[in-house]
Chain A
């Protein structure tokens, strides 16, 4: 999926997934995590007929699975159709902060390592490069151990 296609799909589908997450009582951070998890599945799938419908289906599965893990005692008594949750629903957490910023600078914005070294205060492009590999390794390992993806879609 090239950048333009990705952006078009993101712009069209994220508000719909966010509205669904909201109905389940989730917040913006949950919506982002659920949506990204669903997008990761989509990006590795054979071209589905409708990417948007496919995404909605995956996101719904993730939310249902997540809400099943909430003990009934924690749910308000007046729950009727959609399960409601007031606590944050972190699907998984990954490397945030400085590491993710550095990775975005390289893999998303395409900044040079010289520029990244300057921006993030590394002594050289080489030091910044070593840090970049440490960060991508850390993210890769965190994704592996999150387990959610494999459990839901295996």
Chain B
């Protein structure tokens, strides 16, 4: 994996809490002294949140009652 993907993977493990406690502590310290890393973490967290929202939208819109409620808004 190229370096940026490796960094992305490390950030993911931190955000998903799949990092051993000691490594997570080191990572938090790195974020304090590396503003770029802290910024990447912030945007990656936002990307995770957006994916959750997109997933939820898909699930809710496949529920007939919810879909009807929303369709009514856009057809009247």
Query: Which secondary structure dominates where chain B touches chain A?
Result: helix
Q: Which residues of B contact A7 (CB under 8 A)?
A: 56, 60
A32 and B57 contacting across the interface, CB-CB below 8 Å: yes
Q: Which residues of B contact A118 (CB under 8 A)?
A: none
Q: Are A133 and B9 in contact (CB under 8 A)?
A: yes
Query: Chain A: interface residue count, which band?
Result: 35 or more
Chain A, 1-32, contact with B by CB distance < 8 Å: what is the 0/1 string? Answer: 00100110011001100110010000110011
**A75 on interface, CB distance cutoff 8 Å:** no
Q: How many residues of B contact A (CB 8 A)?
A: 29
User: Could you show 22 A-B contacts with beta carbons less than 8 Å apart?
Assistant: A6-B56, A10-B60, A11-B66, A14-B60, A14-B70, A18-B74, A19-B73, A22-B74, A43-B49, A94-B50, A104-B54, A107-B48, A107-B51, A107-B52, A107-B55, A108-B51, A108-B55, A133-B5, A136-B48, A137-B4, A139-B47, A139-B50
The 4 closest A-B pairs by CB, nearest first: A108-B55, A104-B55, A107-B51, A139-B47
